[in-house]
Amino acid sequence: MEQQTFADKKRKTVEQAEFTEDGRYLRKVRSFVLRTGRLSDYQRDMMNNNWANLGLDYQPTPFDFEQIFGNNNPVVLEIGFGMGKSLVEMAAQNPLRNYIGIEVHTPGVGACIAYALEKGIKNLRVICHDATEILRDSIADGSLGGLQLYFPDPWQKAKHYKRRIVQPEFITKVIEKLGPNGFIHFATDWENYAEHMLEVLRQFDDKLQNTSETNDFIPRPDFRPLTKFEERGHKLGHSVWDLYFIKKE
């Protein structure tokens, strides 16, 4: 039998929060085996050979960002970076910010590492683990400069809305992790999910300030790199909704 490498072993049992139909958090969590797509040999090698420099593993205590990055620059966390191209480009465009990307799809993690190496990126680390566990245990309160979530799974059927990551419990946790003036930036191409996101964020008016002049969505910002996924959607006539909120001091 072929021996499993580090990258192959990044299939794990993780926790997933359950929510009620109206978005309230249920205290139970269920475990499931994370099954990811097939790793190419190249992606596997990128993970195996470069994890020490570009990867971070889950830990039950908060990361020391200053030790990890060698500076005190703001840290931005992105959940679900896909293949990582836009995240790498954003890190390249913002050298005075540090970026951490979380993705459970191992081929995407390998591809992101490869592109980061190609671009010579130093201010980026990637995590292959469940985001709720990382937020809960590995990120110190008040330590993030921002949280990005672009094009998450919309769970289109109404009976599956409770599986959407953007729920009041999730936002509560994110706010805890943000420092003063830290931002939350969401983007989706599903109007129903965009309205859901806005409704959830509006529940935190005492803690979050919407930067939209119309108190809903912002125009597509130039600083968010255009992904192939989004570009394809534009050609098909799909709209994209961006939300940008700032934590109040």
- Best CA proximity match to 124, nearest among 181, 153, 86, 155: 86
φ and ψ at 211, to 5 degrees?
-85, -5
The verdict on whether residue 103 carries a ligand-binding annotation is yes
Q: Which residues of 79-97 are buried (b: 16+ CB within 10 A; e: fewer)?
A: bbbbbbbbbbbbbbeeeeb
Closest by Cα among 86, 123, 79, 122 to 102: 79
What is d(CA 8, CA 29) in angstroms, rounded to the nearest whole number?
25
Q: Any known ligand binding at 247?
A: no
- To the question of whether residue 206 is assigned a binding role by annotation, the answer is no
205 is catalytic: no
Is residue 229 marked as binding? yes
Q: How far apart are CA 122 and CA 117, in angstroms?
A: 9
Q: Does residue 195 have a known ligand-binding role? A: no
Query: Residue 78 annotated as binding?
Result: yes
CA 31 to chain centre: 20
Please tell me whether 153 is known to bind a ligand: yes
Q: Is 141 annotated as a binding residue?
A: no
Would you say 228 is a known binding-site residue? yes
Choice among 153, 205, 206, 222 that is catalytic: 153
Binding annotation: 78, 103, 130, 153, 157, 189, 227-230
Binding annotation for substrate: 157, 189, 227-230
Binding annotation for S-adenosyl-L-methionine: 78, 103, 130, 153
The residues that are catalytic are 153
